[in-house]
Amino acid sequence: MNETLFLAPLPVYTGQVPVSRRNFSAMNETYLELGGSNYGMVELGKRLAIQIWIALFTAFMAPSFVILYGVLFYPENFPTPFKDLINGVKVFSSYALLFIIPIGAFIYGMLSNVRTLAKSYPVRFNRQRREVCYIDDTTHRVLIVPWESVVAWVA
């Protein structure tokens, strides 16, 4: 009797929406690849775009709204609104330059993550031969085992 039995409890209800199980990097009738993909890059690109739009809004739109508010409600304080607008854009743009540091850090983190994921190999599950192929990232050694002998822990 060379059999191992793993008993697991039923999943605990958390109230969260279940995540899609189809986040595989490649899947067809022969094999299924898990890992080695950049699925989170779209979300990171959207976050980067939001940060850039906030910096642009701070540099150009915010002073325009401030000057427009001042011209409409306090016209005696703004005799030359265009000159005040140019000065306001200069001041707000200098503060918007502070966004360069977090945007640069975000771009660095995003690109380093892409580089790390590009170097990692996916785990391939061959459906026809019922084998699992794993390539070690450091030694580049290929390990092919029958999938009945594979045990995986997911945290």
Domain that includes residue 128, residue range: 122-155
> Could you count the other beta carbons within 10 Å of the beta carbon of residue 25?
16
Kindly report, residue by residue over 120-152, the tens digit of the pLDDT: 788 888 888 889 998 888 888 999 999 888 876
> Model's pTM, two decimal places?
0.56
> Could you count the other beta carbons within 10 Å of the beta carbon of residue 136?
10
CA distance 122 to 106: 26
Kindly report, residue by residue over 72-129, the tens digit of the pLDDT: 999 998 899 999 999 999 999 988 888 889 999 988 988 887 777 777 788 888 888 8
Q: Is 78 found in the same domain as 58?
A: yes
Q: Is 97 found in the same domain as 155?
A: no
Q: Is 143 found in the same domain as 98?
A: no
Q: Is 145 found in the same domain as 87?
A: no
* H or E, element range at 112: helix 100-119
Kindly report, residue by residue over 9-22, the tens digit of the pLDDT: 666 777 777 665 55
